[in-house]
Structure 1
Amino acid sequence: MDHLVEANRDYAGQYEPGLAGAPSRHVAIVTCMDCRIDPVQALGVHLGDANVIRDAGGLVTEDTIRSLAISQHKLGTTAVMIIQHTKCGLTTFSDVEFRAELQAATGVEPPWQPEPFGASEENIKAALERIRTSPFLPHREDVRGFVFDVDTGLLHEVTA
């Protein structure tokens, strides 16, 4: 990690403080933690433009709804963009299999669901539905979902 800390020192030398905590484009982006996705570069957003929420798979879980509720109620976002991607690692194992592996390795059953999935388009439709039906999110009209192609860098929109 030392090289990361060193890179931070370089970054801090050029950092310009003073941005507002609320994203200027009023958008929250939910995407996968996959290292091949750089939402800043891929979407042309800059520091201060958007809230970016990342998790394994770009899934809309209970915690994602929590983050989106804070983003909308306290930070003024009104739009949500869901981005999942091709060749996702979550397609390579089953929920039951992974939970069993974790329990065997630790002796403890995980209190959460890993939620691996199949086709990205079906998962995005389910994510859009979770957002559009959440009573905790006042802004559910401007919600769109996309698949990011890790081979081309292009987005493909998924319509519900």
Structure 2
Amino acid sequence: MGVVETLVGRNSDFAKTQFTDGLRMMPNLKTIVIGCVDPRVDPASVLGADQGEIAVIRNVGGRVTPGTLEELVMLRKVTQAAGGDLGPGWELIVLQHTQCGIALLKDQPELLNPYFGTNDAGLDEQHVGNPRAAITHDVTALRGEDRLEGVRVSGLLYDVASGEVETVVAP
């Protein structure tokens, strides 16, 4: 049996035992977490969120890139179209982690510059390889984004060795 067949079989169990009917499109906690694609760091699991409580955007490094900002603006438009607004009362959490694979790329500007929408001179500002500084940088970028005015932003660091989360930038 292959991976797809295994996962489809697990979904059958999920549908019978864990599926929650009637979940809304908007997360109950009015929270979006920006996290890394690393499978050790599933934001819902790490933060103990139940199904439907948070929305998650995952990318390499859990970083706030130009693409991430555009996704958030799109999500704001989606919430407005659904009769709400991703604004006051909403939370954005940047969740990065220790031992992140993006640090292995810090000497490859040909990959990182397009990802961050920068050049060699601006790449140091991204703090690739220093998650605490990267979190502070990304929270600052979100707080400075006029199109997300009114959203509370914070930054957390997950330690893959201990399972603990540390607040690096409070809301």
Gaps of 5+ in 2: 80-84, 117-125
Residue type matched to 2:68 in 1? T
Gaps of 5+ in 1: 100-109
RMSD between superposed Cα atoms in Å: 2.4
Aligned 8 A contact 1:95 1:116 in 2: no
| 1:33 equivalent among 37, 47, 59 | 37
Find the aligned partners of 1:123 and 1:134 in 2 and give their Cα distance.
17
| 2:114 equivalent among 112, 115, 132 | 112
| 2:12 equivalent among 9, 13, 19 | 9
Find the aligned partners of 2:115 and 2:42 in 1 and give their Cα distance.
26
Find the aligned partners of 2:127 and 2:55 in 1 and give their Cα distance.
24
* Number of aligned positions between the proteins: 149
Aligned to 1:22: 26
Aligned to 1:54: 58
Structure having the higher helix fraction is 2
Find the aligned partners of 1:47 and 1:60 in 2 and give their Cα distance.
24
Give per-residue Cα distances to partners, 1:99-144, cap 9 Å, x unaligned. 4xxxxxxxxxx9932778120011111111110111221234x111
- Written as runs of structure 1 = structure 2, the 5 A alignment for 1:1-160 is 1=3, 2-14=5-17, 15-75=19-79, 76-77=85-86, 78-94=90-106, 96=108, 99=111, 112-113=114-115, 117-140=128-151, 142-159=152-169
Find the aligned partners of 2:49 and 2:169 in 1 and give their Cα distance.
23
Deviation at 1:23, TM superposition (A): 0.7
Aligned 8 A contact 1:90 1:116 in 2: no
Give per-residue Cα distances to partners, 1:1-23, cap 9 Å, x unaligned. 22112111221223232111011
Under a length normalisation based on structure 2, what TM-score does the superposition of the two structures give?
Answer: 0.77
Find the aligned partners of 1:70 and 1:51 in 2 and give their Cα distance.
13
Give the 3-state SS of the residue equivalent to 1:158 in structure 2.
Answer: strand
Percent identity between matched residues is: 28
Find the aligned partners of 2:67 and 2:150 in 1 and give their Cα distance.
17
Deviation at 1:97, TM superposition (A): 5.9
Deviation at 1:156, TM superposition (A): 1.2
